[in-house]
């Protein structure tokens, strides 16, 4: 996807190449530049009413906190890098965040690389950043990597803790066409 600040020069291949590979390129309203979304990621779109606390930066930092706490459960030391959005392990991004707000309601969200095929990131300059790489939980932990379902459960739990919400599962459409 290409966010509002996305630049086509951060797409490192021709769009025709993407089409041949069956990869779509979509312009979206979220913040940020270009990123990849695909199998092996947990993608979450927190829809929150920010009317009481109109602080978009706090929202983004809180989502980073959620994801840092989740990967810490698996022994991975995630961090922020000053001036950059997302969650990092060393100099490699493990989670991208691209959110938007309309009428103080948040939409879009985050993508955490769990067992993502990182080869797809070779076709882009992720988030428009030259000197950093990407990684995944599976790349770091190998065969000890948690399942997508375990990571989803932990994100829900940590989201409740960080945001102070009582969480309950709703309808699940995982792996189903809507």
| pTM, 2 dp | 0.88
Q: Which residues are catalytic?
A: 127
**And the tokens for 10?**
């951060």
Q: Are 141 and 71 in contact (CB under 8 A)?
A: no
Most confident range, picked from 4-8, 25-29, 86-90: 86-90
pLDDT one-digit tens code per residue, 126-174 = 788 888 999 999 999 999 999 999 999 999 999 999 998 887 766 555 5
**And the tokens for 83?**
């001036």
Would you state the pLDDT for residue 44?
Answer: 93
Would you state the pLDDT for residue 178?
Answer: 41
Domain map of the chain by residue range?
8-163
Question: Residue 71: pLDDT band by 50, 70, 90 thresholds?
Answer: very high
Element (H, E) at 87: strand 87-89
Question: H-type helices in 21-147, by residue range?
Answer: 56-72, 137-141
Sign of the torsion angle spanned by Cα atoms 141, 145, 146, 148? positive
Q: Which CATH code for domain 8-163?
A: 3.30.930.10
Query: Across all residues in the chain, what is the average pLDDT?
Result: 90
Residues 6+ apart with CB under 8 A from 176: none
């Amino acid at each position: 996807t290409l966010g509002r600040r996305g630049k086509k020069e951060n797409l490192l291949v021709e769009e025709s190449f993407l089409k041949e590979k069956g990869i779509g390129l979509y312009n979206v309203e979220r913040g940020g530049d270009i990123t990849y979304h695909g199998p092996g990621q947990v993608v979450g779109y927190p829809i929150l009413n920010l009317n009481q606390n109109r602080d978009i930066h706090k929202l983004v930092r809180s989502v980073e906190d959620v994801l840092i706490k989740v990967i810490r459960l698996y022994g991975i030391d995630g961090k922020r890098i000053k001036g950059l959005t997302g969650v990092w392990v060393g100099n490699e991004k493990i989670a991208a965040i691209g959110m938007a707000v309309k009428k103080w309601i948040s939409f879009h969200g985050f993508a955490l690389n769990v067992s993502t095929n990182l080869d797809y990131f070779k076709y882009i300059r992720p988030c428009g950043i030259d000197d950093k790489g990407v990684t995944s939980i599976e790349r770091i932990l190998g065969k000890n990597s948690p399942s997508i379902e375990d990571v989803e459960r932990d994100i829900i739990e940590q989201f409740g803790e960080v945001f102070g919400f009582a969480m309950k599962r709703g309808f699940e459409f995982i792996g189903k066409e809507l």
